[in-house]
Structure 1
Amino acid sequence: MCELLALSSSRPARLTFSLHTLAARGGLLGRSHDGWGVAFYEGRDVALFREPRPAADSALVNFLQTQGPATGLAISHIRHATRGEVSLANTQPFVRLLGGRSHVFAHNGDLPGIDCAVPVDRAASRAVGQTDSELAFCALLARLSTLWLEGRAPPLERRLSVLAAFAAELRALGPANFLYADGDALFAHGDRRLQHNGRSEPPGLWIRQRNCPPDAAASDQDAGVVVHTDGTSVVWVASVPLTDDPWQPLASGELVAIRDGRILTGDSTTSAPAGAARADHAV
């Protein structure tokens, strides 16, 4: 299956081992060898790197590990093709402009029937490729578009409500693990994925948070991220735990919002109404 990775940090950080670990799963350790991509945020815009080829032997991945930009928010994806040819157009993450910001989306899972089940305003946002994941992204942006008419970030609660309702529609079609960012916050939705026992079941995403004390050393590398450890907060979200440290699984239907390395709030859409708040994670 596809592999997802996201980073949110209170200070600029650089992906190193995390990207390498994800890349190894894209062709060496796993079956995901049909493309890879990573989006690094800088303010409202992103630097996007993608290739429709295995990440494990990519010279560009090796370059980004040592020379990639420092960022406070990044989303990466390793593709295992199930719909659409192996091509750049079908390689995630996908990026679209809305409300004066670059919005980024990456999805893991199959969504059969999404063409009919989830209406897409094709006049507003057209898919470039043939994947169900890109169709889902276009449909999501259509739902969010009215919130961004004023050009500034809408209230977090309103965005969470739209995302929670949309995620519930996707889960009815198939596995719907996704990462979405709008330049202000990162949103992670966990569902189910193919496990080692051969069954499709939760967890589909794992999350970990690290808070560095203000008097820590100048810099450190943790889970493949070079960070300043003097008071930096970092959150990782990944399809599988990347280290032996404690990671917390997301339940099926669990949606969390993250900003600047801190988990703000979350919602379990399988057990609570859309938009209902829950306690912050302590990972």
Structure 2
Amino acid sequence: MCELLGIAASVPISARFSLRRLARHGRGAGAPIDGWGVVFHDGTDARCYREPEPAGKSAWLRFLERHQPPARIVISHIRLATAGTVALRNTHPFVRELGGRMHSFAHNGRLPGIETLAGGETSCFHPVGESDSERAFCLLLDRLAALWRGAVPSAAARLAVIQRFASDLRALGPANFLYSDGDYLFAHAHRRHQRSGRIEPPGLWHLACPCADAGMAVREAGVALVAGATPAPVDVFASVPLSPAPWRPLAEGDVVMVPAEAPANVSISGQPG
């Protein structure tokens, strides 16, 4: 299965990490990597770096591991291709503009029948590739579009749309995803292919790190969290625990929303009623 990593902090931090070491936590040494990608949100804009190649062969990735820009929100994805060919157009995370800002999305799982969720409605967003994940992202942005016409929508309005969207995806298949609009990092946990061979929860794990402990808590996974002049608490989401720290498994169907410009351990979570 693909591997997800999401990081949210109340001040910009440099999240320098080794995707190769991260991949070993979820799949073990020698497992294939069909592509990798990282998004660093910078206010309303975002830097996105992707390659449809194994991370071990990438000179670009080796550079990024040493020189990553500070950001409050980071989303990373390591791909094991299940839908769509191994190509740049199918490599996560995906990014689109909506409401004058960049949105990003990465998914873990399979979503057969995602086309049926559109209900025949005309879409404003279209996939570039063939992956079910990108189709899901386009569907999410279609549902969010009305909120972003005019004033910036409230946190509650955004969360309600994402909860309904996540509920619809769960009916199709494993639907773990990370999504950000630059203001918030949203994490949805469902089921994933476990090492036991079963597809079951947890689909995502969460670690809330105090200021002093953030770097140490994930360092052995190849993640170096470097704060600027002001140390910051950090929320980390991953497909599997990355260290012996007290990671919390998210319940099946949980949606967690973490603000980028408030203390990172203040979050809203829940399932649709």
What's the TM-score once normalised by structure 2's chain length?
0.90
1:205-238, Cα deviation, whole Å (9 max, x unpaired)? 001011226xx9xx95541132338541101001
Once residues 127 and 247 of structure 1 are traced to their aligned partners in structure 2, the CA distance between those partners, rounded to angstroms, is: 34
User: Which structure dedicates a bigger proportion of its chain to helix?
Assistant: 2
Does 2:265 align with 1:266?
Answer: no
AA partner of residue 266 (structure 1): S
Does 2:242 align with 1:242?
Answer: yes
Contact 1:38 1:74 in 2 (8 A): yes
1:27-50, Cα deviation, whole Å (9 max, x unpaired)? 863645111100001111111100
1:36-84, Cα deviation, whole Å (9 max, x unpaired)? 1000011111111000001233222211111111111110101111111
Contact 2:6 2:74 in 1 (8 A): yes
What residue is the counterpart of 1:276 in the other structure? none
Once residues 137 and 69 of structure 2 are traced to their aligned partners in structure 1, the CA distance between those partners, rounded to angstroms, is: 25
Aligned length: 265
What residue is the counterpart of 1:102 in the other structure? 102
- The farther-off stretch of 154-163 and 50-59 is 50-59
What secondary structure does 1:126 align onto?
coil
Instruction: Give the superposition deviation at 1:18.
Output: 5.5
Higher relative contact order (CA 8 A, sep 6+): 2
Instruction: Give the superposition deviation at 1:22.
Output: 2.4
What secondary structure does 2:56 align onto?
coil
What residue is the counterpart of 2:164 in the other structure? 165
Contact 1:13 1:71 in 2 (8 A): yes
CA separation of 1:209/1:29 partners in 2, compared to 1, >3 Å: closer, same or farther? same
What secondary structure does 2:236 align onto?
strand
What residue is the counterpart of 2:176 in the other structure? 177
% identity of equivalent residues: 48
1:248-277, Cα deviation, whole Å (9 max, x unpaired)? 0111100000123234210134xxx1xxxx
What residue is the counterpart of 1:203 in the other structure? 202
RMSD in angstroms over aligned alpha carbons? 2.2
Once residues 45 and 120 of structure 1 are traced to their aligned partners in structure 2, the CA distance between those partners, rounded to angstroms, is: 31
What residue is the counterpart of 1:140 in the other structure? 140
Contact 2:217 2:245 in 1 (8 A): no
Once residues 85 and 253 of structure 1 are traced to their aligned partners in structure 2, the CA distance between those partners, rounded to angstroms, is: 29
AA partner of residue 184 (structure 2): A
Once residues 30 and 198 of structure 2 are traced to their aligned partners in structure 1, the CA distance between those partners, rounded to angstroms, is: 17
CA separation of 1:220/1:251 partners in 2, compared to 1, >3 Å: closer, same or farther? closer
What secondary structure does 2:178 align onto?
strand
Instruction: Give the superposition deviation at 1:182.
Output: 0.2
What secondary structure does 1:56 align onto?
helix
- The farther-off stretch of 31-40 and 138-147 is 31-40
What secondary structure does 1:110 align onto?
coil
> What is the correspondence of 1:9-158 to structure 2 with a 5 Å cutoff?
9-17=9-17, 19-24=19-24, 29=29, 31-119=31-119, 121=121, 123-152=123-152, 154-158=153-157
What residue is the counterpart of 1:281 in the other structure? none
Once residues 248 and 120 of structure 1 are traced to their aligned partners in structure 2, the CA distance between those partners, rounded to angstroms, is: 39
Q: Which runs of 5+ in 2 are unaligned?
A: none
Once residues 83 and 130 of structure 1 are traced to their aligned partners in structure 2, the CA distance between those partners, rounded to angstroms, is: 7
CA separation of 1:59/1:24 partners in 2, compared to 1, >3 Å: closer, same or farther? farther
AA partner of residue 160 (structure 1): L
CA separation of 1:147/1:19 partners in 2, compared to 1, >3 Å: closer, same or farther? same
What secondary structure does 1:81 align onto?
coil
CA separation of 1:209/1:30 partners in 2, compared to 1, >3 Å: closer, same or farther? farther
Contact 1:96 1:102 in 2 (8 A): yes
Q: Which runs of 5+ in 1 are unaligned?
A: 274-283
CA separation of 1:151/1:25 partners in 2, compared to 1, >3 Å: closer, same or farther? farther
What's the TM-score once normalised by structure 1's chain length?
0.87
